[in-house]
A and B are shown apart, each in its own frame.
Chain A
């Protein structure tokens, strides 16, 4: 009998909720035409402030999905390459970076038709002679 009362009570408990949903606007949006605004702190694509990067390789060492690669010629000349197909947007690189160089912004539309487009050269520094 206790269960039955619980069932009846839960009906009247949730009834205002569903009626509110019935008479308010649907949550669904017409996606390609209208875009959804991501919440604050959303982890999207990896971006970089190239001036701050010194090529220390901390982000490369810590990346759990091996999405970053550092090609180092010398102390001044290096390239930081990002494989976006491997990236899981975990944000570890942002945490590891000591120079406020690498960070994640809130872009979530990442679709490419060619595999080459997934490979992005984040930093390309050459020695000034």
Chain B
């Protein structure tokens, strides 16, 4: 791999530019689908890009008394960690650098934005920000465990913490979606919590805490936050597809790439449908659902995989 290839890989495909386009496309699809589900018209295709450009052009204001450097570095860290996660994830056509334990690294990188989100609420000192940040931390303790446990079912079944081995096992045997369908739905629930989408959008509940921890943010920083969440959707869904569906297509082929995109779109449609159907859960309902139902179910599921 020479320098030019590395440049292409990091900045163009499947690095920054491709992920950005994919993230904006999926965000548009999400908004359009939810609008159509609710009987509205929905935005035109360029709306996410227009929003982003508008936010980048706007004045950047923070409340007085806020640590400016800290507030500026938080969205940068979360954006960078999600982008790094995308680098470790094999996006269908290009193999990623794989090593033993990159599954855990990916998990860690994907959970960074949630911690940064909490700190953002803490730093900006607004009432809504602090409540939103605390709520996000509260939610973090429930879905993160669920997501890790449910996703680790695939690692247990393949006997390795490397993403490549998870894929190779699926090619050898069968895609994990068939034996681990419960695990798939549980990890989808965990991902929804991670992305703070309905019905787990407690940290940014509009009618209760305005925009949660991001209430005081504006301009470039807010744009970066939005971009982070959109990228996180793409990376999280790709992670899910890689762990449960890969093996259905050949690596490094155009057809495989399009099948991957198709799965991405289908899963995004599922997320949108869930957003449109469910109302927001209360905090106690979320905790009850996670710790009393989902996590015991996941543990039982993992024991079943271990014994198999």
Contacts and interface: CB of A to CB of B under 8 A. Distances in A.
B41 A1 contact: no
Majority DSSP secondary structure for residues of B touching A:
helix
Interface stretch (A22-30, A53-61, A75-83, A96-104): A22-30
Interface in B59-113: none
A21 B40 CA distance: 9
* A: interface residue count bin: 10 to 19
Contact of A14 (B33, B40, B42, B277): B277
B278 A18 contact: no
A3 B288 contact: yes
A11 interface: yes
B289 A26 contact: no
A26 B39 CA distance: 5
B296 to A, nearest CB: 10
Contacts of A26: 35-36, 39-42
A128 interface: no
Contacts of B277: 10-11, 14-15, 18
B169 to A, nearest CB: 29
B40 A27 contact: yes
B37 A22 contact: yes
A7 B278 contact: yes
Nearest to A13: B277
Contacts of A7: 278, 289
Contacts of A1: 293
Contacts, number: 41
Q: A7, A10, A24 — which one has the most chain B CB atoms within 10 A of its CB?
A: A7
B291 to A, nearest CB: 12
A111 interface: no
B276 interface: yes
A3 B41 contact: no
A121 to B, nearest CB: 42
Given A11-B274, A15-B277, A18-B277, A27 B293 contact: no
Contacts of B39: 21, 24, 26-28
Interface residues of B, number: 18
A4 interface: yes
Interface string B278-292: 100000010011000
A30 to B, nearest CB: 9
Contacts of B289: 3-4, 7
Contact of B36 (A3, A10, A15, A22): A22
B293 A18 contact: no
B214 to A, nearest CB: 28
A14 B35 CA distance: 15
A18 B274 CA distance: 10
B54 to A, nearest CB: 22
B252 interface: no
Interface in A1-56: 1, 3-4, 7, 10-11, 14-15, 18, 21-22, 24, 26-28
Most A CB within 10 A of own CB, among B41, B277, B288: B277
B253 interface: no
B278 A10 contact: yes
B273 A15 contact: yes
Contacts of B40: 26-28
Nearest to A18: B37
B38 interface: yes
Given A4-B293, A26-B41, 16 more contacts: A1-B293, A3-B285, A3-B293, A4-B289, A7-B289, A11-B277, A11-B278, A15-B273, A21-B37, A21-B38, A21-B39, A22-B36, A24-B39, A26-B42, A27-B40, A28-B41
Interface of B: 33, 35-42, 273-274, 276-278, 285, 288-289, 293
